[in-house]
């Protein structure tokens, strides 16, 4: 079964769980986060790419999904700015936004594939 024919509620749940994971990882002390071997900006970009993609799959509205991911990234960075053990970094916010745009682009590109299209006959 193609991913576009799966239940929206499944992807909504995944998106919300992924958003919770990002929030937890973003607000715990930086030295408590697991080491991935990637640069900080790549980690941000990949996490928000997945988040925007899941939002798009769950709600089928790429603009809203991307905007939600971008806003979440900005809000988390602002919260980090007020914490003693984290800092606000606008470059992180930009990496979040770039990742969200990539997630939307992947969603739109996959939607054009005949096998995955909702308009399949």
Total residue length of the chain: 121
The answer to whether residue 106 scores a pLDDT higher than 90 is yes
Q: Please calculate the CA angle 96-59-49 and round it to the nearest 5 degrees.
A: 20
pLDDT 10s digits, 1-43: 455 456 788 889 999 999 999 999 988 887 777 777 788 899 9
107: in domain: yes
- Give the whole-number percent of the chain exceeding pLDDT 70: 84
Rg (the chain; Cα; Å): 15
Q: Report pLDDT digits (tens) over 47-70.
A: 999 999 999 988 888 888 888 899
Residue 34: inside a domain, yes or no?
A: no
- Residue 64: give the domain boundaries: 40-121
Residue 47, in any domain of the structure: yes
**Residue 121: inside a domain:** yes
> Into how many domains does the chain fold?
1
- The DSSP secondary structure of 35-75, one letter per residue, reads P-SS-HHHHHHHHHHHHHHHHHHHH--HHHHHHHHHHHHHH
């Amino acid at each position: 079964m193609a991913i576009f024919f799966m239940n929206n509620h499944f992807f909504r749940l995944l998106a919300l769980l992924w958003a919770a994971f990002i929030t937890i990882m973003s607000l715990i002390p930086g030295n408590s986060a697991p080491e991935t071997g990637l640069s900080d900006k790549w980690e941000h970009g990949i996490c928000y790419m997945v988040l925007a993609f899941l939002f798009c799959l769950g709600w089928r509205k790429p603009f809203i999904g991307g905007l939600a991911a971008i806003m979440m990234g900005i809000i988390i960075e602002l919260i980090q700015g007020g914490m003693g053990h984290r800092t606000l970094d606008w470059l992180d916010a930009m990496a979040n936004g770039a990742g969200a745009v990539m997630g939307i682009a992947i969603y739109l590109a996959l939607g054009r594939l005949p096998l995955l299209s909702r308009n399949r006959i």
